[in-house]
Amino acid sequence: MQLSLSRLIIACLAAITLSGCMGDDNALMSPLSAPPPGLEKDPKLLVATTRLPVGDPPKKPWFSGERSPDLVYAEARLTPPSESLIGGSGWSIAKVEGVNRSNAAQAFAQAAFGRDLLLYIHGYRESFQTAATSTINLSQGIQFPGATGLFTWPSAASTFSYVADREAAMWSRDSLEDLLTAIAKTPSGGRINIVAHSMGTLLTLETLRMLRASGGESAMERIGAVVLAAPDIDIDLFARGLERLGTDAKKITVISSTNDRALAVSSRLAGGIVRAGAADRERLEALGVRVADASEFGGGIINHDLFLSNPEVQQVVKRAIERAR
């Protein structure tokens, strides 16, 4: 039985390698796609990261899977898709500039000054470039008009780095709290809309607990929508986190799917405890969060990134942000 379980886990993880959390390193967007208003006006991705930059100034692949001792801010300048009839190309990162290691949280806050912010927090097995891919795809899909940002933690971007990734994500909590605090304290700022995926949802929930504990309700006022897509969180830990958030738990929308194969593997690794992203809708709604059950849209092998791959599910994110305005 143990051998069969091990084979199952390996097989599922191998499948995740093909179609799991990661995007495509070669293109940051599908060819001929129209950019969203925000990126059309200012094709720039605001980056806050606990990864080490590759070079000074950074060179491709820009940021590694190594841990930076301090939060780093940078701006990724984007090249829009080519519309050549010979063969278009997707979004690409032209360069990474404006690196700030000494005052990163404040630098990010100033860059987003006066605008609503879409902040994406990625999951397990992601490189910087694949995380950027997902961020831009999300911003494009919902036509987000404000600033688009990415908080990226030092995932090893390896199929078998699950435990190491979880520790790296939790290690990044203080930096994410510092970032959210700096943005929230910036006068004349807009709403901070957070979309987190998979393991990134655990980082997000834990950080929001810390933010509320340290700053109270006033620290949470600028937080708009919080969308947790396929949350890879122990359901009991999830419930406890929501209790600590109090009324702010109402800001959260969970995109769940009972046929998410990646979360099924995670549940087995955790001793059979259900993950929040695979729990029944009724169980989640009883905890006081909004729920978008995407089970009926999951026709693939993994069904772990439906908020990126399915236009109808992606609109859940857009509606959540609109409600928070």
pLDDT score, position 303 = 73
- Of 24-28, 266-270, 319-323, least confident by mean pLDDT is 24-28
Confidence of residue 84 (pLDDT cuts 50, 70, 90): low
Q: Kind of pairing, strands 117-121 and 223-229?
A: unpaired
pLDDT score, position 85 = 52
Question: Domain 2-324: which CATH class?
Answer: alpha beta
**Could you read off the pLDDT of 109-147 as tens digits, one per residue?**
999 999 999 999 999 999 999 999 899 989 988 999 999
Query: Left (φ > 0), alpha (ψ -120 to 50) or beta: where does 85 sit?
Result: alpha
Q: What is the pTM of this model?
A: 0.89
**Going along the chain, which residue ranges are E strands?**
44-53, 63-79, 92-100, 117-121, 147-152, 192-197, 223-229, 252-256, 290-293
pLDDT score, position 299 = 54
Instruction: Find out whether the peptide bond into 311 is cis, omega within 30 degrees of 0.
Output: no
**Could you read off the pLDDT of 167-195 as tens digits, one per residue?**
999 999 999 999 999 999 998 779 999 99
If you average pLDDT over residues 262-272, what whole number do you get? 92
Q: How far apart are CA 61 and CA 128, in angstroms?
A: 7
SS3 223: strand
Q: How far apart are CA 167 and CA 321, in angstroms?
A: 30
Closest CA to 70 of 104, 111, 108: 104
If you average pLDDT over residues 288-295, what whole number do you get? 95
Residue ranges per domain, the chain? 2-324
* Rg (alpha carbons) of the chain, rounded to whole number: 18
